[in-house]
Amino acid sequence: MIHQYQLGGYNIVLDVCSGSVHVVDEAAYDMIAMFEDKEKEIVLQEMKEKYAGHEDVTPQDLEECYEQIAALKDSGKLFAPDHFEPMAGRLKEKTAGVVKALCLHIAHTCNLNCSYCFASQGKYHGDRAVMSFEVGKQALDFLVANSGSRKNLEVDFFGGEPLMNFDVVRELVAYARSIEKEHNKKFRFTLTTNGLLIDDDVIEFANQEMSNVVLSLDGRKEIHDRFRVDYAGIGSFEQIVPKFQKLVAARGGKNYYMRGTFTHANPDFLEDIKQMLALGFTELSMEPVVCAPGDPSELTEEDLPVVLSQYEKLAELMLEREKEGKPFTFYHYMIDLGHGPCIYKRIAGIEDETECSDMREELTDRFGDIPRPVENLLRISLLRKQAHDLFLSDVQGKNEVLTFTFAGHADVRAERIPALLQDFGGRMAFYAKGAYLQHRYKKCGVVEKDGEMLLTLTESILERMRQYLL
Ligand code: SF4
């Protein structure tokens, strides 16, 4: 699966399953878009017609471009298959019925009266109420009882305004901590607040017990105060900003999120992000309003071009600030291609034994025993990294021969190849023309056993190659 987009004068192609990002010229960008759906002749014909008037794009250039795209596909960097898909269901099955997180509506009431509130001022169209310790305790017990083998459990104190029931929040956290050891669980708490009730006590408690705090601020004062008002209709900006600043400073500027909402009043929400930055906040998030159709805050079709342009300008601002040494985080742009949220990508991005064992631990925590195919994926990721360190461009097992091909720029100790071959006692051969090593092996004919044997053999050969050639 690929995703193509143009930004800042670049033609960008993201290959989703391999995590590769390609920056290409316009002709390649166009050709990639049709590459998988049409025959080679048709692709070339259409491209030649399209670029007929372009002196700098000759028919020969287009032929070469096609071959380069095909080579990228062959090397698994473009249109890479989704190896994880068939296993994803098996992992999901293992977690069916397992509860790993709770959002506790600790206060069905609020001390603000935001007109765009999706929760009807915290009441969710019901009566105002706060959760008792007993109900919260039962919720935590339920979470523990239904969390299976999952060790890390997440609880978000949410509302309305959770600090209107702060004593119960404290009691529940104390209770959760008291049962962690006995059940071999670890609670991770988040507090989402509008900020009005933050004081030194809350700051100290939050910094001790909350892994994350989510702070609601809409950015510019006039934007924030338009919707986020108290019951007297007075905007909350002036009251909450100093409190947020104090809390964030006490947390060392980390483990928090400033969360803003953009509406029809501010589709140009980048200005609000700039305001948050000016106030000293750097962990930011901005979400579109959720409201009933026809609500005055509702985003309209006409807002869409402005909203889309804001995301692009935001990316540019992030780059600028990064260069200036003043980076900031935007929640929806937290995409780490190597270690992104998708398990497959994270497995594919494993760089060493430590990361591999961390991943194993996480998978076991989330899903219990790791299925064999996923375990093999972990091993293959490590092999890929080792092969890369050895400047190998390809490793292939075919017809009972394992072939290790060196890349053109391989910077290995070639003078030690004879010693390596000797170590393998005749089972390994080196072919200078083509720069590859070959090792013979015997299949037993049982697919699973052969696969396991091949993995183990490749691991041991790469280890020996590392000892001799690096
Ligand atoms: S602070 Fe949150 S819960 Fe309270 S009224 Fe505003 S949006 Fe609703």
Give the pLDDT confidence of 335-376 residue by residue, as tens digits.
665 544 467 667 777 777 888 888 888 788 777 778 777 888
Lowest-confidence region among 91-105, 110-124, 431-445: 91-105
Tell me the average pLDDT across 382-391. 88
The residue whose CA is least distant from atom 6 of ligand 1 is 114
Strands 428-431 and 436-440: antiparallel
d(Cα 432, Cα 309) in Å, to the nearest integer? 54
Give the amino acid at 92: K
Confidence at residue 88, expressed as pLDDT on a 0 to 100 scale: 65
List all residues whose CB is within 6 A of at least one atom of ligand 1: 110, 112-114, 117, 119, 121-122, 159-161, 194, 228
Query: 134: CA distance to ligand 1 center in Å?
Result: 25
Query: 332: CA distance to ligand 1 center in Å?
Result: 22
Query: 114: CA distance to ligand 1 center in Å?
Result: 6
Beta bridge partners of 7: 10
0.85 exceeded by pTM: no
Q: Look over the chain and give the mean of its residue pLDDT values, rounded to a whole number.
A: 90
Confidence at residue 163, expressed as pLDDT on a 0 to 100 scale: 98
Tell me the average pLDDT across 105-122. 91
Confidence at residue 265, expressed as pLDDT on a 0 to 100 scale: 95
Confidence at residue 9, expressed as pLDDT on a 0 to 100 scale: 86
Taking 80 as the threshold, does the pLDDT of residue 112 lie above it? yes
Q: Within a 10 A sphere around the Cβ of 248, how many other Cβ atoms?
A: 22
Q: Could you tell me the pLDDT band of residue 326, with boundaries at 50, 70 and 90?
A: very high
d(Cα 400, Cα 265) in Å, to the nearest integer? 67
Mutate to test the pocket of ligand 1, among 114, 116, 123, 196 (most ligand atoms within 8 A of CB): 114
Q: Which two tokens stand for residue 428?
A: 């390994």
Select the more confidently predicted residue: 93 or 155: 155
Lowest-confidence region among 73-87, 128-142, 271-285: 73-87
Asked if 63 contacts 44 with a C-beta cutoff of 8 angstroms, the reply is yes
Q: Percentage of the chain surpassing pLDDT 70? A: 94
Mutate to test the pocket of ligand 1, among 194, 198, 230, 234 (most ligand atoms within 8 A of CB): 194
Taking 70 as the threshold, does the pLDDT of residue 91 lie above it? no
Tell me the average pLDDT across 147-170. 93
Taking 70 as the threshold, does the pLDDT of residue 92 lie above it? no
Q: Is the dihedral of CA 237, 241, 244, 248 positive or negative?
A: positive
Beta bridge partners of 395: 404
Q: In this predicted model, what pLDDT tens digit does every residue of 27-52 receive, in sequence order? A: 999 999 999 999 999 999 999 999 99
Q: In this predicted model, what pLDDT tens digit does every residue of 195-246 receive, in sequence order? A: 999 999 999 999 999 999 999 999 999 999 999 999 999 999 999 999 999 9
Q: In this predicted model, what pLDDT tens digit does every residue of 265-300 receive, in sequence order? A: 999 999 999 999 999 999 999 999 998 889 999 999
Tell me the average pLDDT across 318-346. 79
Query: 218: CA distance to ligand 1 center in Å?
Result: 12
Query: 230: CA distance to ligand 1 center in Å?
Result: 10
Asked if 161 contacts 193 with a C-beta cutoff of 8 angstroms, the reply is yes
Select the more confidently predicted residue: 140 or 384: 140
C-alpha torsion 247→229→276→106, nearest 10: 40
CATH class of 96-333: alpha beta
Confidence at residue 443, expressed as pLDDT on a 0 to 100 scale: 82
Q: Which two tokens stand for residue 161?
A: 């305004």
Taking 50 as the threshold, does the pLDDT of residue 17 lie above it? yes
Give the amino acid at 413: R
Q: In this predicted model, what pLDDT tens digit does every residue of 121-131 receive, in sequence order? A: 888 888 999 99
Confidence at residue 339, expressed as pLDDT on a 0 to 100 scale: 47
d(Cα 446, Cα 457) in Å, to the nearest integer? 16
Taking 50 as the threshold, does the pLDDT of residue 382 lie above it? yes
Q: Which two tokens stand for residue 136?
A: 């919260």
The residue whose CA is least distant from atom 3 of ligand 1 is 160
Mutate to test the pocket of ligand 1, among 103, 106, 109, 121 (most ligand atoms within 8 A of CB): 121
Tell me the average pLDDT across 422-427. 89
Query: 138: CA distance to ligand 1 center in Å?
Result: 26
3-state secondary structure the chain: CEEEEEECCEEEEEECCCCEEEEECHHHHHHHHHHCCCCHHHHHHHHHHHCCCCCCCCHHHHHHHHHHHHHHHHCCCCCCCCCCHHHHHHHHHHHCCCCCEEEEEEEECCCCCCCCCCCCCCCCCCCCEECCHHHHHHHHHHHHHCCCCCCEEEEEEEECCHHHHHHHHHHHHHHHHHHHHHHCCEEEEEEEECCCCCCHHHHHHHHHHEEEEEEECCCCHHHHHHHCECCCCCECHHHHHHHHHHHHHHCCCCCEEEEEEECCCCCCCHHHHHHHHHCCCCEEEEEECCCCCCCCCCCCHHHHHHHHHHHHHHHHHHHHHHHCCCCCEEHHHCCCCCCCCCHHHHHHCCCCHHHHHHHHHHHHHHHCCCCHHHHHHHHHHHHHHHHHHCCEEEEEEECCEEEEEECCCCCCCHHHHHHHHHHCCCCEEEECCCCEEEEECCCCCCHHHHHHHHHHHHHHHHHHHHHHHC
Mutate to test the pocket of ligand 1, among 105, 106, 109, 110 (most ligand atoms within 8 A of CB): 110
Confidence at residue 340, expressed as pLDDT on a 0 to 100 scale: 45
Confidence at residue 341, expressed as pLDDT on a 0 to 100 scale: 47
Residue 416 phi, psi dihedral angles, 5° rounding? -95, 0
Q: In ligand 1, which atom is closest to the CA atom of 111?
A: 4
Confidence at residue 336, expressed as pLDDT on a 0 to 100 scale: 60
